[in-house]
Amino acid sequence: MLNNFASFNLTQDTTQVLVTTAIGGNYFDDWSNFSSGSWLAYAHRHGIGIVVVRDDLISPEKKEYKNGSWQKMLAPLYIAEAFPSLERFCLLDTDIIISPFASNIFDDAPVGKFSVVSQQSNAAFSLREVKRKIAYFRHNFYSSNYPLDGFIHASFADEFRAQGLAPQADFFCAGVIVLDRAHAATLAKWFFDSEAKTIPDVAWEQTYLNYWIQQEPVHWLPYEYQALWNYEMAWNHPYLYRHGRDISHHEDTRNAVKATLWNNHFLHFAGSWFESDAWKMSLSFHGEGPLDSPDEFESYRQQKIEPRNMGKVLPAAGE
């Protein structure tokens, strides 16, 4: 099973780990090219390990087989067997960039509970309005075939009902889930108890995880631990829609993503429309200028400041 994993910053004493599944296709290469740098910096800063699942954890011949998105439910159990020191796991989707300012998520996720990020109760936007903007901009900038009245506007209760599940009190994006070693067997049981043939849409585990996890003790993390780029772009950076499928090739996209990372811990580029391609660019915070100097700002932020009254301050001539 160790051959299925790629591990980083992991020692025999590591207790906390970021886990992602990059099975098939270009998932591992894309994670390596567009996410790994920020993850490794975060891991070193907080003493956290990283494990990437690169190959199927279950044979495609088995009746319970489901795709890589579902197999993240198996990952903690199998990884815990391979690395006995691990006590806590943070399941992350590959298409997440971590801010250079990000706090240790495990410090904000209490032991004994699943920790997730609500899209409903602590979202940074009016969901109704931001979804209207996404639909409007996609229809007008990307494709006139994109419906203005599509399922994007469905309530979360409707999403549960569409999968034959009872609506729950809240709804989270399954791109960020924190759990304990003790939860690993429960996740795996949910996976194996759900045969693929009984699931209407095996590509999406999110609604099922929402149902199962909300039957357990759950802690709701702040939005900053999973800012959703589709929302951020439609709300704060709609000018980027004019770049269409070339969004990753423009400097203003790079600056918009960096600015978003100054205000959020984790930024998730979920989705299959062109907005999400903003993830697929070379991003570095080691250039020139204030926007690229998080270490310098962090040093300034930690300084004790005694405010001085210097009267009205104006730019110098020529500035």
Q: Kindly report, residue by residue over 200-257, the tens digit of the pLDDT.
A: 554 578 999 999 999 999 999 999 999 999 999 999 999 999 999 899 999 999 999 9
Q: pTM for the complete prediction?
A: 0.92
- Residue 179, strand partner residues: 89
Residue 202 is predicted with a pLDDT of 47
2-302 belongs to CATH 3.90.550.10: yes
Residue 214 is predicted with a pLDDT of 97
Strands 49-53 and 16-21: parallel
Residue 17 is predicted with a pLDDT of 98
Residue 123 is predicted with a pLDDT of 79
Q: What is the mean pLDDT of each run of 10 residues along the chain (319 residues)?
A: 84 96 93 96 97 94 88 95 96 96 97 96 88 97 95 91 92 97 96 70 78 97 97 97 93 94 96 94 71 78 85 79
